[in-house]
Amino acid sequence: MANELARRIFGSPDGTSLLLLAALCVLLLAAAWSDLRRRRIPNAVVFPGALLAVLLHALSPAGEGIPDVMAGGLGAWQSMLGMLYGLLALLPLYAARSMGAGDVKLMAMVGAFVGPQQIWSVLFATALAGGVLAVAVALRRGVLLQALDNVRRILFGRLLARLAAHRARRDAGARGAVPAPASSGAGASSTVRLPYAVAIAGGSIAYLLLRAHLAGFY
């Protein structure tokens, strides 16, 4: 009875999957735009989006999520489990203060749409997109060369400092003086704040569109 009602509402499992995919893409683009313009991801996007995902999965004809050869909804429990996985995956980065709370909540919303199986592939695609974004931001702000120079200093600075300290101790021992502490010469690196919602949106959408293509949706 529930499956028949869902088919009347959504038309077909394929229609359900495309609706879920379209809704997620719109929400991700809205979050990315807000992060770019205002440096924040509004709860008005994330919380209703997660609730919408759970409802659509609960009401849809049974299937394997979005997008898949066996299209359809995962059910409310699987949707909530995907949300939990998305939340827990980024919590360590939030605890380390390398990611904002909005980014964590956005990934939880994505998990509610894609479910517990696909969230890991989405996280991997997001990590790749984040790397590309970091390089692009560094190039635009002119700090990439400085960052590479800092890496060089970190790699070779300690070795050069130890050689200099050893030579200074040897010379000071011959003169009976106390040498001053050697400096590695490493400069402070610049911190670049990334609008990570752009990486989440770019990685998630790219992965899901590729999966939809492989599943024969277009």
In a domain? residue 37 = yes
- Contacts of residue 146, Cβ cutoff 8 Å, sequence gap at least 6: 187, 189, 190
CA–CA dist 4, 16 (Å, integer): 13
Q: Is the dihedral of CA 28, 95, 133, 67 positive or negative?
A: negative
Say what the pTM is: 0.72
In a domain? residue 35 = yes
In a domain? residue 158 = no
In a domain? residue 163 = no
Domain region containing 92: 2-143+190-214
Asked if residue 71 lies in contact with residue 63, where contact means CB atoms within 8 angstroms, the answer is yes
In a domain? residue 135 = yes
pLDDT digits (tens, 9 = 90+) for 155-190: 565 555 666 666 666 666 656 554 444 444 444 444
CA–CA dist 49, 58 (Å, integer): 14
In a domain? residue 153 = no
**Domain total in the chain:** 1
Of residues 136, 152, 153, the one with CA closest to residue 144: 136
pLDDT tens track of the chain, all 218 residues? 444 544 555 555 566 777 888 889 999 999 999 998 888 899 999 999 999 999 988 887 777 777 665 666 788 999 999 999 999 999 988 888 878 899 999 999 999 999 998 999 999 999 998 888 877 776 766 655 555 565 555 556 555 566 666 666 666 665 655 444 444 444 444 445 678 899 999 999 999 888 877 767 66
Burial class (CB in 10 A: 0-12, 13-18, 19+), 72: buried
Looking at this protein, which amino acid is placed at residue 13? P
CA–CA dist 46, 30 (Å, integer): 10
In a domain? residue 179 = no
